[in-house]
Structure 1
Amino acid sequence: MAMKNPDSVSFNEAHIRNLKIQIIKLASQRGEDINSVINNLYSENEIHDKFYFRKNDIHEYKANFFESHGTEYHFRNLMTERLKEYSGKHKEAKENYSDARSRFLDQSKALFRRMEENPWNFDNDDFERTKNDLKDDLSILHWGSLPIYKEKYMEERGALPEKDVVAYYDDIYTFKDLVKWIEEEATWKPSFKGDCNLDQDMNFSVYSRRWGHRDSYRIKRTISGWDIRAIAINGSSAKDGTGMIMENLDHDNIFYPKQSIKDAFTYLWEMADEREMTVEELAAKLQNIADWISAIEKVFGECKPDWL
């Protein structure tokens, strides 16, 4: 990925951008007029159901989009302006989208074939020529397809696409992202993703040398991390397990590689949040971490010098 732009973009900014795009895409798919969408009042449940704001989205980002009106919410003025602008550009781009799409895919695929044929001598001039040939199509393709990219991709790029569409794709990696999106856009569907595995009780069984057997904790994934219930210590933890999970392990003198386990908890939390992972799959992966800790704890005890 290219070096990060001085105008850096945070995960939150990228996610808010994706939520805006999602609202436009959903309205377009349903054939709804954007003015009727933005002028309505919505309950919190309607925000969740209509716009596919997940529980964490409502908790973290509701105020970026809505102002309260009694027990209901309406879009903020600045947000209505942005949504109307995006919707207008989307409608305009759709008029020439089909021709631009065919031309773009043909030329980009030809470029990629040339790159595959000569992988050790990438010709940046070839990319520049192709990109310049397609420059007028980039805005049409972007606004016509309304791509939703992973937040970390936009963080790495250091920019949001809508700030300068042509400049955003002035990079082989973001250019490839657009090609992939356009190829797969028909399969896009809104999703509540990890909401299906939030606040579900799961077992976390860890061996302890102190007690000579496994102890079973109860853990839930929450919108901000994890919640653990145990005999000794109960409460919340961050996504990486910092807090009550680590305190329980430390309380029982369980030996574990702290940073690696923190990385594992973080990676699992993000994986469970990003897709519709079933509770059964999440529970199994959570127990994988517990089994890993247990194996290290046993080996540590077996290999520890008997004079210590």
Structure 2
Amino acid sequence: MTEVQEKVSGWGERWPAPAKLNLMLRITGRRSDGYHLLQTVFQIIDLCDWISFYPAEDGRVFLRDPIPGVPEQEDLTVRAANLLKQYTGCRLGVCIDVEKNLPMGGGLGGGSSDAATTLLVLNKLWNLKLPLDKLMELGLRLGADVPVFVYGYTAWGEGVGEELQSITLAEQWVVVIKPDCHVNTRQIFLAEELTRDSKPITMRDFIAGDWKNDCLPVVSNLYKSVGEAVDALSQYAEARLTGTGACVFAQFDSEESAREAFSALSPNWSVYLAQGLNRSPLYEKLEQGSV
């Protein structure tokens, strides 16, 4: 495939895999298979990994630069591509190049977003023509957060997070702190002290300020640096945990106030400055006509 063909078709281009925040998280029950039932609000933010795809003539799926210590076939982008091949019978191959910017184990959904971008873009590049609901269904096989990234909108989520309803929120500036720890999500959901019977709320309750995250007390107890990050960020705005963490975040009404907090916290913490989005930047690029 020539360089011109790659440019026209979308092969070799950089595709965004944005992060998300859980603006609240309530555990309302537990299924017989162990999965927790929840209510949450997902908001896309403009921090992104970037993924490029290159045709592989031999039909293999592989990474250009495998992550040290992570078996290549366990990487979520490789698993997503192989799942597409298995489901559709596609015999094409791909070399996947991931520019990793989002922290692992932070609750920002980086691996899930990478998988969703792989599903959506390869669906186009391989001309598979699977509908969105099927891609979301396949995404759920890879992880509970993958469907919201395939969906691509800020959303109210229920079930295990796969029952989604798009909502429109203010696209506020956010400051995110990544404490120096990697939270084990399984450990948090297995913790005896985790609240599992929160009363469900309505969207109106959330908009009125009911932003509780049931995981925060457990995570703060097990990972002291998370509690310290909450305390540090709380000096500038109300700090919250995203998902099971480790990242904590705060929303700001202006870019100026967010930048002030970011600058003040940067010397002592790993800090990110971002803006909330109601629509994934991946969909903006998919609609530019490059594929």
Higher relative strand content: 2
TM-score normalised to structure 2 length: 0.23
TM-score normalised to structure 1 length: 0.22
Larger Rg: 1
Higher relative helix content: 1
Q: Which has the higher contact order (CA 8 A, sep 6+)?
A: 2
